[in-house]
Amino acid sequence: MSFGSRARAALDAYGPVCVGIDPHASLLEEWGVGDDLTGLERFAAACVEAFAGHVGFVKPQSAFFERFGSAGVRVLEDTIAGLRHTGTLVILDVKRGDIGSTAAAYADAYLDDDSPLGADAVTVSPYLGFGSLAPFFEVAERNDAGVFVLALTSNPEAPEVQHAVVGNGRTVAGTVLQQLRELNGDAAPMGSFGAVVGATIGSSAEDLDINGPLLVPGFGAQGGTVEDVRRLFAGVLDQVIVSTSRGVLAVGPDVAGLRESATSLNSELVGSLKTDR
């Protein structure tokens, strides 16, 4: 099955919640496991036990594992392996973007099923030109994987690039969205190439219907609300994957509490964002 098909199935089976697996130093300390390799291992094991097969999506942030060096990357590999093929889709948050053979190597590292870091989908940056992402799309298609491209992020520095108008009269963000729309075409139930659009961007005049999944960070502790999501994504709510980290992880390290936090939020959002798709 294509990633778009699997994402649709996960949304229908579990709801739109994507749990960000972000082992911040402060969070490891709050859990009482310690900001060291042992603490990282305990954190990751609890997340796998709590979420595998119980939520539709998880999003490990690679940087928080990489800061422990090769041993931290091994924990990330184990985390991905423990979550994949359980009904839970792994979106690896790496925001890579490069050109040529380097981009191809990144794509093989994160999207090839034979790679120890191979995930269901990956986040990428288009700011070396959308065409530079071609290797990611090619490897994704070969492996039935997905790609999420930064489009409208909620960091305050983003508008100077994403809102800039290019030669065709569109904004940079609008151009990214249009190119994703063209890549997805009329794929059913939806395409495998998604956009990252923050829940806290305030408003947008862009057409967010790309016939693909929309990864929405910034929900919960970062300020995004259900009302924000309903307003920003009216008309495409059935394509929205709502990412939250601290809102769920704050109850750790208790596995039952983590699972209940995630499944309760899913139930809440399913009701609040219900559409007549």
Query: Catalytic annotation on 95?
Result: yes
Helix axes 37-51, 255-272, angle to 10 degrees: 50
Identify the CA nearest to 205 among candidates 144, 152, 129, 160.
152
Report d(CA 149, CA 125) in Å as an integer: 6
Residue of 74, 84, 95, 163 marked catalytic: 95
Q: Which residues are catalytic?
A: 95
